[in-house]
């Protein structure tokens, strides 16, 4: 565990998806106005997650990877080893943030982190997440989905570090047919999930803390 400005960062290592999801719900339900915000860093065994608006037609074919229907926004995505997942348990009222502003700050933090590795990334207001150009074509390098309950968030952002991307071919990633996905390793950046999380968490925490400045 480490601390960033007003936010506790917990490195969970590899964790079961559903167990971690239920823990996020329990943390959010139990928190009070005095509860410190937290960022959880983890990676999961292979799993597809289908958001509240998710439609089964975006699951193109069965390949044996389990599918979990969850309570975040968005459509379908894939989590697996080699992908950094940051779960964001944040009190929006205390941070003085609306959901859209928070999403933009999360995207900006990931973009700043990628820039340190000479990867030029950008967000798209019409399609939350972080994108890059690779071989002259757009590809998604990080996906984002949140749930807000009682003014507090959980779920978060997943950044592809060094993973097997082939399971994305069996879905329409984030509900977009033909959407390409990529990862840091495709740009020659070799980094463990743990190291990537240790670098990104303080950047995100700083971006979020800026909203509280007078």
Q: What is the DSSP string of 147-183?
A: EEETTEEEEEEEEE-S---GGGGGB-GGG-TT--B--
**From the candidates 174, 200, 201, 204, which is the catalytic residue?**
174
Q: Return d(Cα 131, Cα 141) in angstroms, integer.
A: 6
| Sequence-distant (≥ 6) Cβ neighbours of residue 56 within 8 angstroms | 50
Known catalytic residue at 4: no
Q: Are 155 and 88 in contact (CB under 8 A)?
A: yes
DSSP bridge partners of 131 = 122, 140
DSSP bridge partners of 162 = none
Helix (H) or strand (E) holding 98: none
Q: Return d(Cα 96, Cα 3) in angstroms, integer.
A: 20
Q: Which residues are marked as active site?
A: 174
């Amino acid at each position: 565990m480490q601390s960033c400005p007003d936010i506790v960062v917990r490195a969970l290592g590899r964790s079961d998806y559903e167990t971690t999801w239920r823990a996020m719900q329990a943390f959010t339900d139990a928190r009070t106005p005095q509860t410190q915000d937290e960022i959880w860093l983890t990676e999961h065994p292979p799993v597809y997650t289908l958001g509240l608006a998710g439609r089964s037609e975006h699951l193109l074919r069965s390949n044996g990877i389990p599918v979990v229907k969850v309570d975040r926004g968005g459509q379908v995505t894939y989590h697996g080893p080699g992908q950094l997942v940051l779960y964001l348990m944040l009190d929006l009222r205390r941070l003085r943030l609306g959901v859209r502003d928070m999403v933009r700050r999360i995207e900006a933090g990931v973009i700043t982190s990628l820039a340190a590795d000479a990867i030029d990334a950008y967000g798209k207001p019409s399609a939350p997440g972080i994108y890059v150009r690779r071989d002259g074509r757009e590809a998604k390098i990080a996906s984002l989905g949140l749930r807000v309950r009682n003014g507090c968030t959980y779920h978060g952002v997943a950044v592809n570090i060094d993973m097997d991307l082939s399971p994305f071919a069996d879905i329409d990633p984030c509900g977009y047919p033909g959407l390409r996905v990529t990862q840091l390793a495709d740009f020659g950046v070799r980094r463990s999930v743990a190291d990537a999380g240790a670098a990104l968490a303080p950047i995100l925490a700083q971006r979020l803390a800026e909203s509280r400045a007078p």
